[in-house]
A and B are shown apart, each in its own frame.
Chain A
Amino acid sequence: MAEIVVPIGPQHPALKEPVNFRVIADGETIVRLELDISYNHRGIEKAAETRDFVHAVPLLERICGICSHSHTTAFVQGIEEAMRVRVPPRARYIRTAVAELERLHSHLLWLGVAAHEIGFNTLFMWTWRDREVVQDLLEAISGNRVNYGVNEVGGVRVDVPERVVARAMKDLSFLGRRIERYGTLVREEPTTLVRFRGVGRLTPDAALALGTVGPTARASGVPYDVRKDDPYAAYDDIPFRVVTQTAGDVFARTLVRIGEMAESVGIVRRSLLDLPGGPLKVTSPRVAPRAEILSRYEAPRGELVHFIRTNNTDKVERLDVRTPTLANWTSVVSSLRGHPLADLPVVVAAIDPCLSCTSRIAIARPDGTGTTSMTWDELRDHGKRYYRATEGL
């Protein structure tokens, strides 16, 4: 059969950021994938150059609605390093607790989205219900459910009092039980086994060569984790395990994220129980001396990098942000090759892209008589029908 071009994207109101794929398919098989992520450039790096460090933090918090704390932590830690400011231990522990709660809510959200992409909506409902517990806890700590506004240069802006610690312990016990349940469920449920196993496979060599980061890399047995490799906040003090798998498929990425959630519950518990006394912040200078900092952070989706140049002023001369999703795109483009079109939604979802895609897909008829349109929902349904027909799901 002749190759056909399937444009997917760029708008989708249900997800966060728009993207456009041009899928070149031979029948049901994907031959090649081309990428266009030009729909959501907001010029934040440029805007950051015009704001002093105090005003840059809330701006950077808004790079991403899910990893908001990741971006501010990467930034303030970079500026603190440039200023040679030592952050009080209590602030480092609170940053860690919020970071791991953010990972929990992000991974729960991901598990729900991945389940939804394969038509397993019961799991979607369960994980998103449990995610509310995390959101409520974040609200109890910071007053906010999404952009927590916890960080500032020199420390944190909110304290975690005893009363909130006590409540957190109850919530964490509940979450621990739920996460254990998900670990069993995905290993037993035929839907997840058939739709996740062997799909979107990346060998360890490919995962390394293609520059993958985070759970995507760790599911292929590449144990990079900035929390261990280049420890920040309180990760040097708190024991935790870097979760890896070897299969490199969507199933392995699922198990890695579920394993990481169990570790995150442990880290939040430890950081709140061991919360050191003392101040929340130190007063930091207004200006940063000339410095060049490479600030790395393990965001829920993987290694996040803020390259910062300061120049004896109260603003950055340059802030260059490399997000984990950009690092993982190369692997998506490669791991979809040779896969059926039906697997596209779940393989794209498996890197947990911080973007959103697709309002429509136009299918070009091979004989060139025109195009028809399909929404992402229809593509998802196509995937369900395909597997119903081929696997009897």
Chain B
Amino acid sequence: MTRSAAWTADRVSAAMQGLGTGESVAANRVRVSVPAARVLEALARTRDRLRCDHLIQIATVDTGTTFELHYHLTGAHRGIVSIRVELPRDAPRIRSAHGILPPAALYERQIHDLFGIEFEGHPDLRRLILNEDWPESEYPLRKDWVMDPGKSYGGAAKEVG
């Protein structure tokens, strides 16, 4: 059903030399795992060398041991390049990609809200998705998050009036 990949795994590997190796994960998608410290370089190369001009999504996964971020990009060639990074769960920090890809700003703000990942250099990491009276430092999409019955998660108290 899907069309052949615009970029082969080899082509992506060549563009990402020194950062990671391309791995074909679907007919039209190549994934590269890169060190988190060099994510901006990988994204800039994806944009410039692989001509990806559209950031589809920054998907986030909590594996239980690490956080994974998957930056899915595409371009006029219609192939998809996924840049994958892993972040330690105890101190999840990564540089913000908004300078290279402006739409990243909003996606990162959402991820910060729900997973508690810090994006360094982000212009505005205020709350976006969770309600304003949601307690600080509670990140509901983390696998180990459980609701604390002693805390208020927003809304009116049970016994009003």
Q: Which residue of A lies closest to B78 (CB)?
A: A229
8 Å CB interface, A277-298 against B: 292-294, 296
Given the interface pairs A46-B140, A230-B28, the reply to whether A294 lies near B102 with Cβ below 8 Å is no
Pair B129/A41 contact, Cβ less than 8 Å: yes
Provide the bound-state CA to CA distance between A326 and B114, in Å.
15
Pair A38/B127 contact, Cβ less than 8 Å: yes
Tell me if B106 counts as interface (CB < 8 A to partner A).
yes
Interface bits A229-273 vs B (CB < 8 Å: 1, else 0): 111100010000000000000000000000000000000000000
Pair B1/A307 contact, Cβ less than 8 Å: no
Tell me if B48 counts as interface (CB < 8 A to partner A).
no
Interface bits A31-52 vs B (CB < 8 Å: 1, else 0): 0000111110101011000000
Pair A307/B103 contact, Cβ less than 8 Å: no
Pair B103/A330 contact, Cβ less than 8 Å: yes
Pair A45/B141 contact, Cβ less than 8 Å: yes
Q: Which residue of B lies closest to A87 (CB)?
A: B1
Interface bits A44-78 vs B (CB < 8 Å: 1, else 0): 01100000000000000000000000000000000
| Residues of A close to B74: CB separation below 8 A | 224, 229
Pair A320/B78 contact, Cβ less than 8 Å: no
8 Å CB interface, B1-15 against A: 1-3
Given the interface pairs A46-B140, A305-B57, the reply to whether A326 lies near B107 with Cβ below 8 Å is yes
Tell me if A322 counts as interface (CB < 8 A to partner B).
yes
Pair A320/B59 contact, Cβ less than 8 Å: yes
Provide the bound-state CA to CA distance between A303 and B103, in Å.
14
Which stretch of A154-162, A178-186, A206-214 is in the interface?
A206-214
Pair B54/A211 contact, Cβ less than 8 Å: yes
Tell me if B33 counts as interface (CB < 8 A to partner A).
no
| Residues of A close to B78: CB separation below 8 A | 229-230
Q: Which of B28, B56, B72, B132 has the most CB of A within 10 A?
A: B56
Provide the bound-state CA to CA distance between A81 and B25, in Å.
12
8 Å CB interface, B106-129 against A: 106-107, 110, 126-129
| Residues of B close to A307: CB separation below 8 A | 57, 59, 70, 72
Tell me if B21 counts as interface (CB < 8 A to partner A).
no
Tell me if A329 counts as interface (CB < 8 A to partner B).
yes
Tell me if B32 counts as interface (CB < 8 A to partner A).
no
Main secondary structure, interface of A, reads mixed
Quote the shortest CB–CB distance from B96 to chain A (angstroms): 14
Provide the bound-state CA to CA distance between A211 and B56, in Å.
8
Given the interface pairs A38-B127, A210-B103, the reply to whether A309 lies near B61 with Cβ below 8 Å is yes
Pair A41/B131 contact, Cβ less than 8 Å: yes
Q: Which of B1, B2, B128 has the most CB of A within 10 A?
A: B1
Pair A210/B28 contact, Cβ less than 8 Å: no
> Of A36, A211, A229, A294, which contacts B103 at CB under 8 A?
A211
Pair A39/B106 contact, Cβ less than 8 Å: no
- B interface residues, tally (CB under 8 Å): 38
| Residues of B close to A294: CB separation below 8 A | 26, 29, 56-57, 59, 72, 80, 82
Given the interface pairs A208-B53, A292-B25, A294-B29, the reply to whether A327 lies near B128 with Cβ below 8 Å is no
> Of B70, B80, B110, which contacts A326 at CB under 8 A?
B110
Tell me if B101 counts as interface (CB < 8 A to partner A).
yes
Quote the shortest CB–CB distance from B26 to chain A (angstroms): 7
Q: Which of B80, B129, B140 has the most CB of A within 10 A?
A: B129
Pair A231/B131 contact, Cβ less than 8 Å: no
Quote the shortest CB–CB distance from A233 to chain B (angstroms): 9
| Residues of B close to A327: CB separation below 8 A | 103
**Apart from the given pairs A230-B28, A307-B59, A320-B61, 17 other A-B contacts in the complex at a CB distance below 8 Å:** A36-B128, A38-B129, A39-B131, A211-B101, A211-B103, A224-B74, A230-B2, A231-B3, A294-B29, A294-B57, A294-B59, A294-B82, A309-B61, A326-B107, A327-B103, A330-B102, A330-B106
Complex A-B: 25 CB contacts under 8 Å: A38-B130, A208-B53, A208-B54, A211-B54, A211-B101, A211-B102, A211-B103, A230-B2, A230-B28, A230-B78, A231-B1, A232-B1, A294-B26, A294-B29, A294-B80, A305-B57, A307-B59, A307-B70, A318-B60, A320-B60, A322-B107, A327-B103, A329-B106, A330-B102, A330-B105
- 8 closest residue pairs by CB, A with B: A211-B103, A307-B59, A322-B57, A320-B59, A229-B78, A318-B61, A305-B57, A41-B129
Interfacial residues, chain B to chain A (CB-CB below 8 A): 1-3, 25-26, 28-29, 53-57, 59-62, 70, 72, 74, 78, 80, 82, 101-103, 105-107, 110, 126-132, 140-141
